[in-house]
Structure 1
């Protein structure tokens, strides 16, 4: 159980084959905002110098421990299996408050779900191409593009009849997300706290991130939506109401 006086203890497990090392510093800066990365492990075949740029120098600079898995098997990736086994061992130790699974691979969907079944938080990190199933299995999913100042540009996309749901959908209309949150919050007052709204949106949409819309904070995003009004309430908290 996390002590309120200290940050949550996190186990960071990285799939070296499915994320580039060039994003490493940005990812660990983000992880620092979530808790203390006590375990930092990466899985892959490092015999050839490190996949995706994960060199020994990069690993040493960030105190990441490599777990060598030789690419001498066919079928299921040996690195994926090793990561899952270690994750379950760490989970059953009972010492950690959360996991950070860094990959763009849907193979870790069941792992994320299993960890959360034990009441332990799972934060995912990966590229925007990450399959929706893995994204939804996490408490929160952070797109690496948002950490390197590459906000997603929403584009209308026709729904295909053969869509399997493996790819992440286009960005949701932020106004609809806010309205949905207001409708779900049971209160008579027309003014809702920004914290209430943000908490509901994030719980219902693990990959919601205002940086995807080019805004640093939820208040900045809502300020661009003309159907809402904001004001300062008690304690200087931001309040929001619908105008329509």
Structure 2
């Protein structure tokens, strides 16, 4: 079944999702299929619920009223879970998009996945790891938002790029604490996959590599690491060799660089001039 033919139920926990993410949620799920169910759960009698009205109307999302019957208990979670199971047994969808940063939906995601559903989770980087692992794919909403904003901005200079890269490095420790798969874990997995490849030249097709990484790490998305394309993401890794094969429809293959492929480090030589030492690269 083609991606555009897959039917999804999009269920959003309004208690854990900001209204500013709605556009990114709907745009992202369109990459997987068609959203046939679009529901958002919360207590719409609260004063701050008014800000949602226009956003929900623009995206044709059905608000589901759920009163908080008891202080300290989240009735929204129960309503979402009941609806999800009803939709599952209707046999009208191929997958679910569960939007929340709450670990309470971990069991629901696991149960739906056991029934053969494709589960796409969405939440902020603070989302607990168990919920992320229970999904087939997990997308960080804050990353989707920042990527979209960067795409709309004008091309930046190298100076701006270097400063943004340094700010990203400062965020690394913080992101690790919140559960995002560390880039070094991804690198180690890539090396292992290539080494285990059955091909004659010890290489792996780039598309297959991307699919295997996504299956192994549900939150794997090159946008999490500052890129928009898998090819650009891989080319930044100095230990990888990227080659295209026109005989197979311009497919791209990824392998590990050999010693001959690695450029030697240029060391400076000392050139003496009028009693002063000058350095010159070889």
1:148 and 2:145 equivalent? yes
Q: Secondary structure at the match of 1:111?
A: helix
Q: Distance in 2 between matches of 1:190 and 1:215?
A: 26
Query: Which range moved further: 102-111 or 184-193?
Result: 184-193
Structure possessing the higher radius of gyration over alpha carbons? 2
Q: Secondary structure at the match of 1:17?
A: coil
Q: Secondary structure at the match of 2:108?
A: helix
1:207 aligned partner: 219
Query: Post-superposition shift, 1:177?
Result: 2.9
Q: Report if the CA contact (8 A) 1:44-1:79 is conserved.
A: yes
2:249 to 221, 235, 238: 235
Q: 1:156 to 1:30 in 2, by over 3 A?
A: closer
Deviations 1:145-198 (A, max 9, x none): 22112599355659xxxxxx9941552324223113324544443221101111
Query: Post-superposition shift, 1:217?
Result: 1.1
Q: Report if the CA contact (8 A) 1:132-1:166 is conserved.
A: no
Q: Distance in 2 between matches of 1:194 and 1:209?
A: 14
Deviations 1:39-60 (A, max 9, x none): 0000000112454x75221111
1:130 aligned partner: 127
1:195 and 2:210 equivalent? no
Q: Secondary structure at the match of 1:122?
A: strand
1:22-171 matches, within 5 Å, as 22-51=20-49, 55-149=52-146, 153-154=168-169, 157=173, 167-169=178-180, 171=182
Deviations 1:121-161 (A, max 9, x none): 10000000000000000000000122112599355659xxx
Q: Report if the CA contact (8 A) 1:193-1:240 is conserved.
A: yes
Deviations 1:100-121 (A, max 9, x none): 0000000000000000001111
Q: How many residues align?
A: 235
Bigger fraction of residues in helix: 2
Q: Distance in 2 between matches of 1:123 and 1:30?
A: 10
Query: Post-superposition shift, 1:213?
Result: 1.0
Q: Report if the CA contact (8 A) 2:180-2:219 is conserved.
A: no
Scaled by the length of structure 2, the TM-score of the pair is 0.77
Q: Distance in 2 between matches of 1:38 and 1:178?
A: 36
Q: Report if the CA contact (8 A) 1:136-1:206 is conserved.
A: yes
**Cα root mean square deviation, aligned:** 2.3
2:264 aligned partner: none
Q: Distance in 2 between matches of 1:123 and 1:109?
A: 12
Q: Which runs of 5+ in 1 are unaligned?
A: 159-164
Q: Report if the CA contact (8 A) 1:59-1:66 is conserved.
A: yes
Q: 1:169 to 1:11 in 2, by over 3 A?
A: closer
1:162 aligned partner: none
